[in-house]
Amino acid sequence: MTTTVACAQLALAVGDVAGNLAAAEEAIAAAAAAGARVVVLPELANSGYVFEDAAEARALAEPVDGPTVTAWSAAARRHGVTLVAGFAELDSRARVRNSAVLIDPAGTVRAVYRKAHLFGTERDCFVPGDEAPPVVDVEGVGRIGVMVCYDVEFPEWVRRVALAGAELLCAPVNWPLFPRPDGERPGEVVRVQADAAVNRMYVAACDRAGAERGVHWTGGSVIVDPDGFPLAGHTPTEGPALLLAACDLARARDKRLGDHNDVFGDRRPGLYGP
């Protein structure tokens, strides 16, 4: 049985909370209408990314029970989808976090993950997380892991969710556009493909589109199979886009490589320390 996974690549605007929410709700509805059962939104989908300073980030951050996540929960319930979305979070100790939420089809918040590996000047605005990425068993869908953007650059962090049984890793991302040789895929996409292949699991990384305060985004959303091949998002898209891919999540439970090898069974972690 296949599960249709969607990445809703949005053109977000920093500070436009209402506009960002409207774009997300429209994309969730469109994905569900196209048959999606899992929908991934970009990193910081409530607030935008390029903050003037820490004060602006704090002003835009919301608690988990705030208006944006509440609206996302209602949308997930209304359309019967599992939703993974990034947001600027004000946690229970008034710390600002770069977080992602997983909401099940009943509209229940099943997990909140705080980004552990902060990129660039994010350290000026956010407190890093210090807990392992969650892996959530969603009934009728499968086991879903969650992390945020720069986290996927750390193979040992990705391996944790794979060892915890994730069949699909959902990663809200904001990938700034960097120069690359003509005809080459973005480096971030290549690394996501490697994450999928070496762990024999699906990965859905949802990027954003357009530009914000002089920063241009890659538009590199991609859904990758356990062999490391893109099912959707073969090339970057400049504008908003809805990527859809049929994923047989049972494939991610089979870690064999032919008749003689198993990517987990062949591990020798005693040689890899620390």
Residues carrying an active site annotation: 43, 115, 149
Cα separation, 96 vs 155, whole angstroms: 26
DSSP string over 139-202: TTTEEEEE--GGGGG-HHHHHHHHHTT-SEEEEE---B-----TTPPPHHHHHHHHHHHHHT-E
User: By C-alpha distance, which of 159, 167, 154, 19 is closest to 82?
Assistant: 167
Distance in angstroms (rounded) separating the CA atoms of residues 198 and 159? 9
**List of residues 6+ apart from 262 with CB closer than 8 A:** 255, 256
Other beta carbons less than 10 A from residue 36's beta carbon = 27
Query: What SS3 class is residue 223?
Result: strand
The residue to which tokens 């990527």 are assigned: 243
DSSP state, residue 62:
B
